[in-house]
Amino acid sequence: MKSFTNEEIARLLRQVAAAYTIQNEAKYRFQILAYQKAADSIETSATEIKDLLADNALDDLPGVGASIKNHILELFNTGAVTHFEDVLKNVSPAVFPLLDIPSFGPKKAFKLVDKFNLNDPITVVDDVYKIACEGKIASLEGFGEKSQNDIKRAIDEYKLGKTKSSRMVLAMASEISNTMLTYLRKDKNVLQAFTLGSLRRMKSTIGDVDIAVSSNNPTAVLDHFNSYPYKDRVIERGDITSSIILSGNKQVDLMVLTPEMLGSLLQHFTGSKEHNVALREYALKKGYSLSEKGIKLKDGTLKTFTSEKEFYNFLGLAWIPPELRENQGEIEAALKKTLPTLVEIDDIKGDFHIHSNYAIEPSHDLGKNTMEEMLIRAKELNYEYLGFSEHNPSIGNHTEQEIYEILLKRNKKIDQLRMSNKSVRIINLLEVDILVNGSLALSDRCMELLDMAIVSIHSSFRNPTEEMTTRILKGLSHPKAKILAHPSGRLINSRAPYEVDWKRLFAFAKENNKALEINSWPTRLDLQDILVKQARDYDIKFVINTDSHATSHMDNMPYGISVAKRGWCERKDIINTYSYDKLIDWINQ
């Protein structure tokens, strides 16, 4: 018997649906829907089909009709499916890689492959890109200039890792969730609505959005949910649950229960799965069995909970903040009452990573707003202080003397601002490049013009671990270098973190009193939560910064807070919760 993963099977089913669409969408519309639905269901199933087959339990697989189940059996028995081969034989295999690119449907992909005679699935994405750049797509019937540009952009994004199935960044998932909550609350049958799953736990990337509703009329609520105007299709509908797909292949799951079960519902669907499994094992030892409906006692009666706190307390545990629910020791800590008091957004008194549009002729990008505008936003956010940290002047385009003069002039500007603006204190920083050899992009006398510096890596990301670590430590050892910005360099869905010996870096930061940045930019969220938790064991300090290039970016602070919380950080761990005086002491330490 051959073996296939759920992902491989789902992929094959989608190819069959695509081939039907290309052949005759109207004629095969039921088949297309059935194959798409089966693919959705298999892809999101928690159980592997190969395990179901081993248990002779393929019938348990929801959302898959009898004929597709037979095809799956054939696939495992013989390694191929005759019917699939029949459907697929008229479509070039070069069509399918194009279907992973955002905005590419089967018909568009087929037309391009057909018209330009593209037959190599390995090179087809590059081939289409080249043809688009040569301007040959615009003249094709049904395409045009705009769609040619859209194709180029979509392939650019695809190459950055944005496939149709990639996980959402927090900002996008929050927006989807908020829009959906507003829509749901318009239905009078909805008593309360909550965001759950990984989004409530504020994980840095989100697979799908989970929403819970308390209601005395689940059917009406599910009907309302299924009529959501921006849905692409409904993929599952039961008595108390339903799932829909929005455009861009984003999934939203809804669960509806009556209010007296709200506590256990919130607990269960917040997860994580790992936390729930560990909690269930812990409860089992006390003779309790947990579910989304409540806690079943030894005598078989079901105890229900209207609040999540009561649920945890009944188990002898303190309520656990959602950000900690990853089975990383939180259950033991809740039992011993040693859970951390996590840092909150209201604890934040300033932000050190701010790029204004001050004309510094930088090595990298300049901000969009003036220093004055950034200060106004800081005041609105109730900050006590704000640090300006434009990139250092480019060393390729200036002599050291020119850079020194640029910085002298900038210091004058900052002095003036300090005179005229008494409500927010200003910290004079720069974001200074750590060059490949570990030295800083600024000379010592230039560094002396600053209160402190943020240092960071913006080149040669792929050097070996030891080289990278030595480079960072050397850059950080300058007395003015107090903060390491976006320490791993990762960009979510597009750039892997660079290789760093984290233990060595953490030990160095502790020893030399350097802070690691938690960068709040939604596609950075760097240092990552797991590493924050490890770094915290070294008793290192962190700074939560927004890396703002415009005033509106200053509102991203909550994303950084979520990373700090997931790393178990308390207020005392975060430098920018300090009062101004304490901050100055820390800078001068």
CB of 156 to Zn ion, least distance (A): 23
* β-bridge pairing 168-169 and 205-206: antiparallel
- Please identify, using beta-carbon distances, which residue of 314 and 352 lies nearer to Zn ion: 352
CB of 114 to Zn ion, least distance (A): 46
- Please identify, using beta-carbon distances, which residue of 264 and 488 lies nearer to Ca ion: 264
Residues that bind Zn ion (CB under 5 A): 431, 547
Long-range contact pairs involving 159-167 (C-beta distance under 8 Å, separation at least 24): 160/493, 160/494, 161/493, 161/494, 162/102, 162/493, 162/494, 163/100, 163/101, 163/102, 164/99, 164/100, 164/101, 164/102, 164/248, 164/249, 165/100, 165/249, 166/493, 167/205, 167/206, 167/207, 167/493
Site for ligand DGT in 18-47 (CB under 6 A): 46
CB of 562 to ligand DGT, least distance (A): 14
Burial annotation 150-177 (CB, 10 A radius, 16+ → b, else e): bbeebbebbeeebeeebebbbebbbebb
Q: Which does 528 bind (CB under 5 to 8 A by kind): ligand DGT, Ca ion, Zn ion, none?
A: none
The answer to whether 295 touches 288, Cβ cutoff 8 Å, is: yes
- Please identify, using beta-carbon distances, which residue of 280 and 379 lies nearer to ligand DGT: 280
Q: Which does 547 bind (CB under 5 to 8 A by kind): Ca ion, ligand DGT, Zn ion, none?
A: Zn ion
Our finding on whether 207 is near ligand DGT (CB under 6 A) is yes
CB of 360 to ligand DGT, least distance (A): 40
Cα 364 from Cα 459, distance rounded (Å): 11
CB of 306 to ligand DGT, least distance (A): 20
Q: C-alpha angle with apex 377: 588 to 181, nearest 5 degrees?
A: 120
Position 325, amino acid: R
Q: Is 357 exposed, middle or buried (0-12, 13-18, 19+ CB in 10 A)?
A: middle
Describe the strand order of the beta sheet including 385-388 as a list of residue ranges: 350-354, 385-388, 425-428
Contacts with 166 (C-beta within 8 Å, 6 or more apart), sequence order: 493
- Please identify, using beta-carbon distances, which residue of 208 and 431 lies nearer to Ca ion: 208
Site for ligand DGT in 234-273 (CB under 6 A): 268-269, 271-273
Our finding on whether 517 is near ligand DGT (CB under 6 A) is no
Region of 391 on the Ramachandran plot (φ > 0 left; ψ -120 to 50 alpha; else beta): beta
284: tokens are 């089992």
- Please identify, using beta-carbon distances, which residue of 207 and 497 lies nearer to ligand DGT: 207
Binding ligand DGT (rule: CB under 6 A), the pick from 206, 278, 406, 505 is: 206
- Please identify, using beta-carbon distances, which residue of 288 and 580 lies nearer to ligand DGT: 288
Of all residues in this chain, which one has the CB nearest to ligand DGT in the complex? Answer: 271
Region of 56 on the Ramachandran plot (φ > 0 left; ψ -120 to 50 alpha; else beta): left
Cα 472 from Cα 275, distance rounded (Å): 36
Q: Which does 356 bind (CB under 5 to 8 A by kind): Ca ion, Zn ion, ligand DGT, none?
A: none
Stretch near ligand DGT under the rule CB under 6 A, chosen from 57-65, 196-204, 487-495, 496-504: 196-204
Q: Which does 431 bind (CB under 5 to 8 A by kind): ligand DGT, Zn ion, Ca ion, none?
A: Zn ion
- Please identify, using beta-carbon distances, which residue of 243 and 551 lies nearer to Ca ion: 243
The answer to whether 387 touches 350, Cβ cutoff 8 Å, is: yes
Q: Which does 276 bind (CB under 5 to 8 A by kind): Ca ion, Zn ion, ligand DGT, none?
A: ligand DGT
- Please identify, using beta-carbon distances, which residue of 96 and 312 lies nearer to ligand DGT: 312
Our finding on whether 277 is near ligand DGT (CB under 6 A) is yes
- Please identify, using beta-carbon distances, which residue of 55 and 581 lies nearer to ligand DGT: 55
| Residue numbers at the binding site for ligand DGT (CB under 6 A) | 46, 197-198, 203, 206-208, 210, 268-269, 271-273, 276-277
